[in-house]
Amino acid sequence: MLVLTRRDVYELVPMSDAIELVKRAFRDLSGGMAHAPLRTPIEIPDAHGTTLFMPAFVPSLQGLGLKVVSVFPDNPARYGKPTIHAAVLTVSPETGEPNALLDGTYLTALRTGAASGAATDLLARPDARTLLVIGAGAQGPTQAWAVLCVRPIETIYVFDRNSQASESFADRLRELVPDLRARVEVVEHLEAVLPYVDVICTATTARSPLFPDSLVPDGVHINAIGAFTPEMQEIPPETVARAYVVVDSVPAALAEAGDLIKPLQTGVIREEHIRTELGEIVAGTKPGRTSPQQITLFKSVGNAVQDLAVAAEAVRRALAIGRGQQVTLL
């Protein structure tokens, strides 16, 4: 079995490649050519954590396997450890043999960023120059990296209630993007910048909206990737109602996305307000942004097709150049 570390995955699959792989995976998912059952979450109340079991098969990319990812928000304060830990196991679609184990913590950040990069590419205004990242944890830097790949961002604003995370954001982003040219600025008050930005990425585990709808400007594009359970919520219901809403998977969004479930429960929106899946826009069967003034919202709860698309490509490239470590389990 091949074992790939974080560094291996980083060097094998650049963000720009991951964005294209995720687009293909979403296209196949929406077209019924990929398979991803709803993930199985297990709550660990004493630790305030959740562990998710996520299988998928993307035939066109030969991606078959399972991701196990844990989200434990108390880890940084309690143990000085990251909030997210994960591993990905890939399986040969020809023989059924487990053939690789990959660090899933970085891969999760990579593919989640890639989803936002794909959505930004398809939905944000072409002239977008300013980005606001809310949530400077493990997902924050890869969100920024992905947006930088598809838009000429000049300024990145960063907001996090954890000042240490905010202050280290620029250094962590430069580790991913050594030739970073955009200016990075930490902000303490969202109202100072939110009305003037072009793209917003939210990457938190909030259970109530992060900002009031009154601050949200026309024409903004929002990638909401943090709230992944029915109880969580990052985006104001009024903003959801004003936005052109695109999701990664309609069944998953209706089952898991608190940002949509809560407005649905209170009657602020109806199910038909969820206009399309991102994969349908990739395939050209549904439109993306229709005007410069339109607010676009990509709501993602994450889908294992993203993981297996990127993981399968990393394994292919590693085998081609002899990268990684081979271990024998028998």
Whether residue 325 is predicted with pLDDT greater than 90 in this model: the reply is yes
Q: Using the 8-state DSSP alphabet, how is residue 216 labeled?
A: P
DSSP-derived 3-state class of residue 32: coil
Between CA 244 and CA 302 the distance in angstroms is 19
Which is higher by pLDDT, 324 or 275?
A: 324
Mean pLDDT (the chain) is 96
Cβ atoms of 260 and 269 closer than 8 Å: yes
Q: What is the pLDDT of residue 64?
A: 98
Read off the pLDDT band of 254 (50, 70, 90).
very high
Q: Indicate the angle between helix axes 304-321 and 15-30, nearest 10 degrees.
A: 130
* Domains identified in the chain and CATH numbers: 2-108+305-326 (3.30.1780.10), 124-302 (3.40.50.720)
Of 23, 67, 262, 299, the catalytic one is 67
Average of pLDDT values for 297-326? 97
Task: Write down the pLDDT at residue 264.
Answer: 97
> Which of 69-83, 139-153, 301-315 comes out lowest in average pLDDT?
69-83
Residue 228 has pLDDT above 90, yes or no: no
Residue 275 pLDDT level (bands cut at 50, 70, 90): confident
Q: For the chain, what percent of residues have pLDDT higher than 90?
A: 93
Per-residue pLDDT averaged across 155-174, rounded?
94
Tokens of 190: 């969202």
Phi first, then psi, for residue 20 (nearest 5°) are: -70, -40
- Predicted local confidence at residue 83, as pLDDT: 86
The alpha helices in the chain, defined as continuous H runs, are 6-12, 15-30, 75-79, 104-123, 140-150, 163-176, 237-242, 250-256, 258-265, 278-283, 304-321
Residue 42 has pLDDT above 90, yes or no: yes
Q: Is 67 a catalytic residue?
A: yes
Q: Do 264 and 272 contact (CB within 8 A), yes or no?
A: no
Give the pLDDT score at 156.
98
Structure confidence at residue 162 as a pLDDT band (50, 70, 90): confident
